C-alpha cells in the first residue's frame, strides 16, 4: 500500500503547475476562484490555450489528437485545476459526444467532428432530457422519421446546458415506436442552425441563464448524422453515462469551494471574532472537511483501481451521492457565513469587471446564488435517488 505519487507522477504534477503558472490567464482564474460569471469568450480563450498545449482532449486516443492521461494523471490535473482556478471544462463536445464518435462513429464522422472539437470551432450541447423524460430517460418522445436521405425530427429537449452558445447538439431521438422503449432510440448529431430549431432560455431559480429548452419542428437532419446503427442509441448513451459518472463527485471542486469557505470564515466576524474561531462554525467546517478528506481517499481508491484495470462499480455512484452532498454542505456553510448578506443579490457583482461598490464583502455576492444553483448537483447527472437505485440493484441484486 502506498498513498504517495510515483516519481513520474510528481514530475507530471510539476509540469502541470509550471504550465498553469505560465499560461492560465489571471482574469479567468480570478473569476473562477471568486465564483464569478465566465463568458463564452473566456471558455474559448482557455480552450485554445489547452489545445495548443495538447492537453484539451485528455480522454481521447493520441491518434485523434488526445493525450491519454492515466487516471492518476487526470486526478492530478483535476486537483491542480481546482487549486489554480482553471475553468471547468464544458464537457459536451470533448468528453461526451467525442468518445461516442470515437467508439461508435464512422470514419467520416471522426474526420469531420473531432478536429472541429479540438479547434474550438464547434460548441456542442446535449439533447437528452425531455419534459416528460427526466430520471426515466428511456421514455423520451422526440421523434425522428426517416424520409429519403433525411430524418425529420419533431419534439422537445430540455435542461440543455449552455445550449445558447452551441452550434451543434447530440440528441437521443425515437426512431422506432414498435419496440420496447430502450430499443427504438437513435443517436443523432444535429446542426443547431438547421431551420426548425428554437432555443428558449430556462432561467434557474437564482436568476441565471445556464440551461435551455430546445424545440424541433420538422427539422431535416441528413442520415449521415446518425451515429452507429439506427435504434441502437440507448447503448451509446449508456456507454456515455458510465463515462460521465466518474468525476461527477466533484472532489476537486469541493476542495476549491472549501478553501474559499475557510478564507471567508477567516474574515467574516461573529461576536467580534472570525467565524473560523467560533466553536460552532469551526466544527461545522471541520465536519465537512473531514467528510471531504474521506471522500477524496475514496476517489483515489477508485482511480487507483481503474489505473489497475478495474471498472468502477457501485463505489462511483455512492461517491457521486456523497460528493454532491459535501459540495452542497459547503455551499450551505458559505451562505450561512455571510449572515444577513445572504439577502442582497446584485447580479452585476457576478461580473469580474463590475465597477460599482461591493457590499460588505466582495466575495459574498455570489454565495446565495451558488447555494441555490448547486441544489442541481443532487438532481442532474442522474439524481441521487437514481444513483441509489442503481447501487441497490448492484449490491442487493434486486
Partner 1 sequence: MDFRLNEEQQMLQDTVARLVRGEYSFEKRLEFSETEAGFSVDFWKQLGELGLTAVPFSEELGGFDGGGVEVQSVMTELGRGLCLEPYLQSVIFAGGLINQAGNDTQKDTWLAGIASGELQAAVALQEPQSFYDLKDVETRAEKNDSGYVLNGRKAVVIGGHCADLILVSARTSEAADGISLFVLTPDTAGLERRVYPTIDGSKGCDITLTDVQVSAEALVGQQDGAAEVIEYQAGRAIAALCAEAVGAMEAANELTLDYLKQRKQFGVPIGRFQVLQHRMVDMMSELEQARSMSILAASVADEEQSDERRRILAAAKNVIGRSGQFISEQGIQSHGGIGMTWEYNFAHYAKRLIMINHQLGDDDFHLEHYASLLQAS
Give me the active site residues, please.
Answer: 244
Distances from the Cα of 322 to the Cα of 249, 316, 328, 391, angstroms:
7, 10, 10, 13
**How is residue 54 written as a grid cell?**
495538447
> Which of these ranges, 103-111, 185-193, 215-223, 263-271, lies near partner 1 under the rule CB under 8 A?
263-271
Q: Nearest distance from residue 110's CB to partner 1, in Å? A: 33
Q: How far is the CB of 203 from a copy of itself (least distance, A)?
A: 30
Nearest alpha-carbon partner for 162 in 221, 89, 113:
89
End-to-end Cα separation, the chain, in angstroms: 34
Residues 45-74 that bind a copy of itself (CB under 8 A): none
> In the window 136-155, what residues touch partner 1 (CB under 8 A)?
136, 139
Site map (CB under 8 A) of partner 1, residues 276-295, x = contact: x--xxxxx-xxx-xxx-xxx
Subset of residues 284 to 343 that bind partner 1, contact rule: CB under 8 A: 285-287, 289-291, 293-298, 300-301, 303-305, 307-308, 314-315, 318-319, 321-322, 335-336, 339-343
Query: Least distance to a copy of itself from the beta carbon of 280, Å?
Result: 7
Contact region for a copy of itself (CB under 8 A) — 26-34, 210-218, 275-283, 330-338? 275-283
Interactions with partner 1, residue window 349-368 (CB under 8 A) = 357, 359-360, 368
Shortest distance, position 270 Cβ to a copy of itself, whole Å: 13
DSSP letter for each residue of 64-118 = GT-----HHHHHHHHHHHHHHTPPPP-HIIIIIIHHHHHHHS-HHHHHHHHHHHH
Residue 145 or 297: which CB sits closer to partner 1? 297
CA distance 127 to 387: 21
Give min distance, CB of 124 to partner 1, in A: 20
When the beta carbons of 177 and 280 are compared against a copy of itself, the nearer one is 280
Length of the chain: 398
Cα–Cα dist 150/222, whole Å: 4
Among 106, 283, 293, 392, binds a copy of itself (CB under 8 A): 283
Please tell me the count of residues contacting a copy of itself according to CB under 8 A.
3
CA separation for the pair 51, 93 (Å, rounded)? 13
Contact of 60 with 67, CB cutoff 8 Å: yes
392 binds a copy of itself (CB under 8 A): no
Choose the stretch contacting a copy of itself; rule: CB under 8 A; options: 25-33, 279-287, 296-304, 343-351. 279-287
Binding-residue pattern over the window 190 to 219 for partner 1, x denoting contact by CB under 8 A: ------------xxxxxx------------
10 near partner 1, rule: CB under 8 A: no
For residues 154 and 140, give the distance between their C-alpha atoms in angstroms, rounded to a whole number. 12
3-state secondary structure of 289: helix
CA distances to 55, 182, 373 from 130, rounded to whole Å, are 33, 15, 20
Report, in Å, the least distance between residue 188 CB and partner 1.
22
CB atoms within 10 A of CB 203: 10
Q: What, of a copy of itself, partner 1, none, does residue 398 touch, CB below 5 to 8 Å by kind?
A: partner 1
Q: Quick one: which of 17, 33, 143, 388 contacts partner 1 (CB under 8 A)?
A: 388
Q: How many CB atoms lie within 10 A of CB 146?
A: 13
What is the rounded distance in angstroms from the CA atom of residue 70 to the CA atom of residue 306?
9
Amino acid at each position: 500500500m502506498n498513498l504517495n505519487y510515483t516519481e513520474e507522477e510528481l514530475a507530471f504534477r510539476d509540469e502541470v503547475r509550471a504550465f498553469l503558472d505560465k499560461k492560465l490567464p489571471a482574469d479567468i482564474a480570478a473569476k473562477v476562484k471568486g465564483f464569478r460569471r465566465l463568458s463564452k469568450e473566456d471558455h474559448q480563450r482557455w480552450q485554445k490555450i489547452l489545445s495548443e498545449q495538447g492537453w484539451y482532449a485528455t480522454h481521447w486516443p493520441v491518434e485523434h489528437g488526445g493525450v491519454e492521461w492515466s487516471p492518476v494523471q487526470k486526478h492530478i490535473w483535476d486537483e491542480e485545476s481546482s487549486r489554480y482556478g482553471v475553468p471547468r471544462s464544458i464537457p459536451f463536445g470533448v468528453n461526451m459526444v467525442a468518445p461516442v464518435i470515437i467508439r461508435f462513429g464512422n470514419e467520416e464522422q471522426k474526420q469531420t467532428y473531432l478536429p472541429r472539437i479540438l479547434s474550438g470551432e464547434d460548441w456542442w450541447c446535449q439533447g437528452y432530457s425531455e419534459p416528460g423524460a427526466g430520471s426515466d430517460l428511456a421514455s423520451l418522445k422526440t421523434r425522428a422519421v426517416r424520409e429519403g436521405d433525411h430524418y425529420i425530427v419533431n419534439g422537445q429537449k430540455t435542461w440543455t446546458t449552455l445550449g445558447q452558445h452551441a452550434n451543434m447538439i447530440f440528441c437521443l431521438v425515437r426512431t422506432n415506436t414498435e419496440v420496447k422503449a430502450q430499443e427504438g432510440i437513435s443517436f443523432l448529431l444535429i446542426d443547431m442552425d438547421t431551420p426548425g430549431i428554437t432555443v428558449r432560455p430556462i432561467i434557474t431559480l437564482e436568476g441565471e441563464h445556464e440551461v435551455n429548452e430546445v424545440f424541433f419542428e420538422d427539422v431535416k437532419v441528413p442520415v449521415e448524422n446518425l451515429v452507429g446503427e439506427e435504434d441502437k442509441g440507448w447503448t451509446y448513451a449508456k456507454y456515455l453515462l458510465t463515462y460521465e459518472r466518474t468525476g461527477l463527485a466533484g472532489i476537486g471542486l469541493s476542495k476549491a469551494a472549501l478553501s474559499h469557505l475557510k478564507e471567508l470564515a477567516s474574515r467574516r466576524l461573529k461576536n467580534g471574532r472570525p467565524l473560523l474561531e467560533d466553536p460552532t462554525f469551526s466544527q461545522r467546517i471541520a465536519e465537512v472537511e473531514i467528510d471531504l478528506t474521506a471522500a477524496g481517499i475514496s476517489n483515489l481508491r477508485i482511480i487507483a483501481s481503474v489505473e489497475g484495470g478495474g471498472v468502477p462499480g457501485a463505489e462511483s455512484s455512492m461517491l457521486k451521492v456523497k460528493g454532491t452532498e459535501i459540495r452542497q454542505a459547503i455551499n450551505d456553510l458559505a451562505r450561512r457565513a455571510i449572515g444577513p448578506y445572504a439577502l442582497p443579490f446584485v447580479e452585476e457583482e457576478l461580473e469580474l469587471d463590475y465597477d460599482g461598490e461591493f457590499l460588505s464583502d466582495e466575495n459574498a455576492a455570489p454565495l446565495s446564488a451558488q447555494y441555490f444553483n448547486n441544489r442541481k448537483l443532487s438532481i442532474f447527472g442522474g439524481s441521487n435517488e437514481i444513483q441509489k437505485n442503481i447501487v441497490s440493484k448492484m449490491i442487493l441484486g434486486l
